[in-house]
Copies of this chain bind each other. A is one copy, B any other.
Amino acid sequence: MRSETIENYLKTIYNLSSDNTRVVTNQQLASKLNFNPASVTEALRKLHELKYVVYEKSYGTRLTASGARMAIDIVRRHRIWETYLVKELGFGWDEVHEIAEELEHVKNDKLINKLAELMGNPVYDPHGDPIPDAKGKFQKDKLITLFEARAKGSYRIMGTSDHSVVFLKYLEKHGLIIGASIHVKTVEEVDGSLLITCQKKEIVISQKVASNIICKET
């Protein structure tokens, strides 16, 4: 199999399986890749032989450890390139996806690591998606403001940068206390506001508030 073919399948399976927690169906893959389902069946059988996926017929597919690693490496390349194009070359965040789709197939660790280093090893790309490091690990411990996070996912509140009574009362009212687990459900591009859940309640918080909440990914 051509390496680009393998990469496109693994990447798509990874994205559809939400971090490899779910099994992916042939139909999902076929529609995402714009292929005929018959082609997907054929490809999956080969990927199974190559030990990149576990494929049980008429059931579904999931990535093996080596398949997931390869997928994460592709994701890293894609997101580093997107970040580079936006931050260093001045592209708009909406025009970089297609270019990164091609650049991601250039497999050279030194190149990607140098680009990452040049930008201070960013942890999120311009769309707010997390960038795995060279070892394939997603940053989870670094403290960031909720504004910097700008990504769907789960976080734990670790502190605030605004210590005024007004602000702390506001947080307390919504249960946004230190140690609380929150979940970012949507990120509004227009004004940077976030829709989050905290203790089963949904709250919309503004960019301003978000930028004063210090948290870490969980």
Contact = CB atoms under 8 A, between A and B. Distances in A.
B103 A115 contact: no
A89 interface: yes
A89 B114 contact: yes
A115 B89 contact: yes
A99 B111 contact: yes
A205 interface: no
A36 B19 CA distance: 44
A107 to B, nearest CB: 8
Give the oligomeric copy count.
2
Nearest to A100: B106
Contacts of A102: 105-106, 108
Interface of A: 85, 89-91, 99, 102-103, 105-106, 108, 110-111, 114-115, 118
Contact of A89 (B91, B99, B106, B111): B111
Contacts of A89: 111, 114-115, 118
A172 to B, nearest CB: 48
A104 to B, nearest CB: 10
A106 B103 contact: yes
A114 B90 contact: yes
Given A99-B108, A103-B103, 15 more contacts: A85-B111, A89-B111, A89-B114, A89-B115, A89-B118, A90-B114, A91-B110, A91-B114, A99-B106, A99-B111, A102-B105, A102-B106, A102-B108, A103-B106, A106-B106
